Amino acid sequence: MKHIRSIYIFCSIAMSVQGWASKLPEERELTTNFSNLSLRKIPADLTPTTTTLDLSYNLLSQLQSSDFRSVSKLKVLILCHNRIQELDIKTFEFNRELRYLDLSYNRLKIVTWYSLAGLRHLDLSFNDFDTVPICEETGNMSHLEILGLSGAKIQKSDFQKIAHLHLNTVFLGLRSLSHYEEGSLPILNTTKLHIVLPMNTNFWVLLRDGIKTSKILEMTNINGKSQFASYETQQNLTLEDSKTSVLLLNKVDLLWDDLLLIFQFVWHTSVECFQIQHLTFGGKVYLDHNSFDYSNTVMRTMKLEHIQFRIFHIPQERIYLLFTKMDIENLTISDAQMPHMLFPVYPTRFQYLNFANNILTDDLFKQPIQLPHLKTLILKGNKLETLSLVSFFANNTSLKHLDLSQNLLQHENDENCFWPETLITMNLSSNELADSVFRCLPRSIQILDLNNNKIQTVPKEIIHLKSLQVLNLAFNFLTDLPACSHFRKLSILDIEMNLILSPSQDFFQSCQEVKTLNAGRNPFRCTCELRDFIQLGKYSEGMMIGWSDSYLCEYPLNLKGTQLKDVHLPELSCNTALLIVTIAVIMLVLGMAVAFCCFYFDLPWYLRMLGQWTQTLQRIRKTTQEQLKRNVQFHVFISYSEHDSTWVKHELIPNLEKEEKLICLHEGNFDPGKSITENIMNCIEKSCKSIFVLSPSFVQSEWYHYELYFAHHSLFHENSDYIIFILLEPIPLYCIPTRYPTLKALLEKKAYLEWPKDRHKCRLFWANLRATINVNLLETGEMCELQTFMELNEESRGSAISLIRTDCL
Ligand SMILES: *[C@@H]1O[C@H](CO)[C@@H](O)[C@H](O)[C@H]1NC(C)=O
Ligand SMILES: *[C@@H]1O[C@H](CO)[C@@H](O)[C@H](O)[C@H]1NC(C)=O
Ligand SMILES: *[C@@H]1O[C@H](CO)[C@@H](O)[C@H](O)[C@H]1NC(C)=O
Ligand SMILES: *[C@@H]1O[C@H](CO)[C@@H](O)[C@H](O)[C@H]1NC(C)=O
Ligand SMILES: *[C@@H]1O[C@H](CO)[C@@H](O)[C@H](O)[C@H]1NC(C)=O
Ligand SMILES: *[C@@H]1O[C@H](CO)[C@@H](O)[C@H](O)[C@H]1NC(C)=O
Ligand SMILES: *[C@@H]1O[C@H](CO)[C@@H](O)[C@H](O)[C@H]1NC(C)=O
Ligand SMILES: *[C@@H]1O[C@H](CO)[C@@H](O)[C@H](O)[C@H]1NC(C)=O
Ligand SMILES: *[C@@H]1O[C@H](CO)[C@@H](O)[C@H](O)[C@H]1NC(C)=O
């Protein structure tokens, strides 16, 4: 197990080696960057405290001994991609702290060495050296870790000078290679060796020597063109003393048979992880798995990425089986335009298979494949269509991780799925899956990616996904957050970019375990239903991914584009029950207040009085001069029953007099020759206003005098302004004799002023009465008289009549 891990680490180191040249030690100190400025000379005014100086991509051709004297603190100096032809390392004599010196991609031919003891990284690759520029002094730079070299001729004697150095990386960036003395490379003691070959070089010897040199070997530009196979078949393909465990070939362009020979060669070396990137092959397929010697290997991982071929007819079976019969642990063949894959009929030991970005179809699963140890299968970016077929295949494995993203997968409801109980993660993103996919999922699933499919709802009746913890449903067509009743352990939910208007209560009730939610970029409808959701976003710190920038209202239109956190939805307007209760309470209080007023202050009486007052005021405006011009002599004529005379004398008249300066007269104005009724009629005619004090006794004793008159003049319908009735005591309707229809009508219409029993109300009563009388008095003079008659004859039986006269008329 430990072994496997270390190989894996080597693999990843090998992959990072490619970019090693650009990696600089981390510097917090001053960096001066003169990169890409077309400089021909090094600037004289360098800041003395500069620790990192970048002069790359300029036109520098010479370095002077004084150039870097001022920057004594310099640690990193980058001079790559210039035109420097000659280098005297003594130039850096005063830069004692220099650690990193990059002179790659120049035109160096000559280096004069000087031992810079502190240097760790020295890059002289891609220069025009004739021989590799190594001297005795190079061997004295004991801190050197990374050394970049170039040279047209490579010979043992050069490398011997640094054989004792324990290097981390040796990088051979070669512009040309005219001679390589076999056995030179293995002299170096380095962990990694990276060789970039010039085009069309015989790589064979370098590959053999490279494998004998370092643990990790990377070779770029392997292109032997033709003839290699015929030449090499005469060679001995076995190798002793191989050291490499991780081999990476980059930019390989070979004939198929040559490629096969390389596989065969590497197969019997110490290489455990073999990776080829950017592979192109052509030619005819003579050699295949039948001629391959699979015995005796330590190979565990094979990785082929970015493959192209220049063959018109590929005998697929022969090529595929070469790899699948290798029976190693890990096999990757990705970005290879591979339409199919075949496996041997017997069980193989593969644990990890990666066929990403090919053009594999359902046919892959149509023949029985026995992969009992398979743990990880990556089929991302192919053309698979039927999810259930994959499940049948998987059922015969112990698969844990399955990546089926970026295919054309669908699932029909009537198809059955049989997944192994070992499956933990499944990536089904970017497929054509609809709601039915939830009926084709393994029970044991923990992480499920269904992002970018065609799911509209999470069906309610699905099997319980008891272990599901992470669910990605982003970029689908869901209109609601899912309820978690079937996956109670869910803790991370991604539902970004769906069609959610307002999440339903189901989510909040059943998804208590969710700790991280991404529901951004949905077209939220910012109404009351969204309240709980907004609260969640505001108060659950860190739970909502992307809060608050990606949570915007889409509806209603007046809120479009507003962030959810800025939407204000008050409790009262959202909680219907609360709203109803509030309204009910207000109504109740109002009702009680009204009832209280009615009961305690006799509100209806006041209202009626006020109503009459306003009518009166209106009438004042309407009153015409003609009315005044009636032949009036008296101001007010008051008719009342003897029984009520006390009230009239002590209440009514004093109150009327108060403001009107009325004078009472006792002289008879009644014509004795006329009947009392005639006299009364006469009085009414002569008076501006007539007041009748109504009470049961008045009705009984007096009313008959007037009944005919009132009926005749139809006073209650129009023009009744000058008759004022005061109801002194209530008269029950049943007490009124049927011969008095006018009186009945009067009482029913309530066309009278009611004398209040309550003394507090009297002021309003008097004010109202005076206003009524005033209607016609406004334009009269100030002097008025009041005449009161007492007629005590048989007929009248103690009735009393008062007349109030104004002088001014
Ligand atoms: C200097 O600037 C160039 C881009 O202008 C950049 O690529 C390079 O990394 C910079 N160098 C340093 C040491 O930061
Ligand atoms: C140098 O600058 C030119 C234009 O200013 C730009 O096109 C070029 O990519 C730059 N080169 C590097 C290596 O930064
Ligand atoms: C290398 O260093 C040793 C001592 O560390 C010294 O004796 C020797 O002369 C140096 N060689 C050269 C070529 O500078
Ligand atoms: C190479 O260097 C390592 C330390 O990096 C050392 O252990 C080993 O013995 C050296 N090998 C040779 C052949 O000098
Ligand atoms: C290949 O070389 C090895 C030693 O390096 C030797 O043992 C073996 O016999 C050789 N095989 C052939 C076919 O020459
Ligand atoms: C095979 O691949 C898996 C997943 O990348 C990795 O964990 C494992 O270490 C690999 N095994 C070998 C022998 O490289
Ligand atoms: C499943 O595997 C067994 C042996 O492991 C094999 O006999 C059987 O044919 C396989 N079935 C399918 C459908 O591949
Ligand atoms: C799936 O595999 C299990 C055990 O490996 C087996 O019992 C079952 O019959 C298989 N189902 C199908 C449909 O092949
Ligand atoms: C699923 O695959 C897609 C790309 O195919 C990738 O972006 C995503 O991160 C994967 N999901 C998981 C959970 O690994």
Over the stretch 744-793, which tens digit does the pLDDT of each residue have?
777 777 778 888 877 777 878 888 887 777 654 444 433 344 444 444 44
Our measurement of the distance from residue 33's CA atom to the centroid of its chain's CA atoms, rounded to an integer in Å, reads 41
Q: Is 328 in the pocket of ligand 6 (CB under 6 A)?
A: no
Angle of helix 703-713 relative to helix 676-686, nearest 10 degrees?
A: 50
Task: Report the C-alpha gap between 18 and 615 in whole angstroms.
Answer: 103
Whether the CA torsion 612, 616, 622, 626 is positive or negative: it is positive
Strand ranges in 440-527 using DSSP code E only, listed in sequence order: 447-449, 470-472, 492-494, 516-518, 524-525
Question: What are 326-381's pLDDT values in tens digits?
Answer: 989 999 999 999 999 999 999 999 999 999 999 999 999 988 889 999 999 999 99
Instruction: Give the pLDDT of residue 19.
Output: 40
Q: How far is CA 658 from CA 290, 613, 639, 684, 806, in A?
A: 138, 19, 20, 23, 15
SS3 content of the chain, % helix, strand, coil (to 5): 30, 20, 50
Q: Which ligand is closest to the CA of 234, given by its number?
A: 5
Residue 664 reports pLDDT greater than 50:
no
Q: Is 430 in the pocket of ligand 6 (CB under 6 A)?
A: no
Question: What are 83-125's pLDDT values in tens digits?
Answer: 999 999 889 988 989 999 999 999 999 999 888 888 999 999 9
Task: Report the C-alpha gap between 429 and 402 in whole angstroms.
Answer: 11
* Helix, coil or strand: residue 761: helix
Instruction: Give the pLDDT of residue 20.
Output: 43
Residue 228 reports pLDDT greater than 70:
no
Q: Is 238 in the pocket of ligand 5 (CB under 6 A)?
A: yes
Q: Is 25 in the pocket of ligand 1 (CB under 6 A)?
A: no
Give the dihedral of Cα atoms 154, 155, 159, 163; nearest 10 deg: 140
Q: Closest Cα partner for 200 from 230, 176, 179, 181?
A: 176
Domains (ranges, CATH) in the chain?
622-783 (3.40.50.10140)
Name which residue sits closest to atom 10 of ligand 4, judged by CA: 189
Do 567 and 526 contact (CB within 8 A), yes or no?
yes
Task: Report the C-alpha gap between 79 and 57 in whole angstroms.
Answer: 8
213 or 724, which is more confident? 213
Instruction: Give the pLDDT of residue 671.
Output: 62
Do 121 and 101 contact (CB within 8 A), yes or no?
yes
Instruction: Give the pLDDT of residue 385.
Output: 95
Q: Is 135 in the pocket of ligand 3 (CB under 6 A)?
A: no
Q: Which residues pair with 222 in a beta bridge?
A: 252
Q: pTM of the full predicted structure? A: 0.72
DSSP 238-303: --SS---SEEEEEEEEEEHHHHHHHHHHHHTSS-SEEEEEEEEEES-----GGG----S----EEE
Instruction: Give the pLDDT of residue 802.
Output: 60
3 or 110, which is more confident? 110
Q: Which ligand is closest to the CA of 376, given by its number?
A: 6
> Token pair of 731, please?
């008269």
Q: Looking at ligand 3, which atom is closest to the CA of residue 139? A: 1
Contacts of 603 (CB under 8 A, 6+ apart): 594, 597
Q: Which ligand is closest to the CA of 79, given by its number?
A: 1
Q: Can the peptide bond before residue 556 be classed as cis, meaning omega within 30 degrees of 0?
A: yes
Residue 207 reports pLDDT greater than 70:
yes
> Token pair of 463, please?
């099997």
Name which residue sits closest to atom 3 of ligand 2, judged by CA: 36
Tell the residue number behind the tokens 């001629």, with chain if given. Answer: 291
pLDDT (mean) for 466-470: 94
Task: Report the C-alpha gap between 195 and 118 in whole angstroms.
Answer: 25
Strand ranges in 695-767 using DSSP code E only, listed in sequence order: 723-727, 753-754
Express as a percent the part of the chain with pLDDT over 70: 83
Instruction: Give the pLDDT of residue 344.
Output: 92
* Confidence at 13, pLDDT banded by 50, 70, 90: very low
Question: What are 621-630's pLDDT values in tens digits?
Answer: 665 554 555 5
CA 330 – ligand 6 centroid, Å: 6
Q: Closest Cα partner for 746 from 734, 765, 733, 762?
A: 733
10 Å CB burial of residue 167 (0-12, 13-18, 19+) is middle
Q: Closest Cα partner for 799 from 711, 699, 729, 722?
A: 699
* Confidence at 233, pLDDT banded by 50, 70, 90: low
* Helix, coil or strand: residue 120: coil
* Confidence at 418, pLDDT banded by 50, 70, 90: very high
Ligand 2, residues 33, 34, 35, 36: which to mutate, most atoms within 8 A of Cβ?
36
pLDDT (mean) for 312-326: 86
pLDDT (mean) for 399-424: 94
Q: Is 145 in the pocket of ligand 3 (CB under 6 A)?
A: no
Q: Which ligand is closest to the CA of 238, given by its number?
A: 5
Instruction: Give the pLDDT of residue 767.
Output: 80
Report the 10 Å Cβ neighbour count for 618: 9
Instruction: Give the pLDDT of residue 231.
Output: 58
Do 159 and 184 contact (CB within 8 A), yes or no?
yes
Residue 514 reports pLDDT greater than 50:
yes
Ligand 3, residues 113, 140, 141, 144: which to mutate, most atoms within 8 A of Cβ?
140
589 or 282, which is more confident? 589
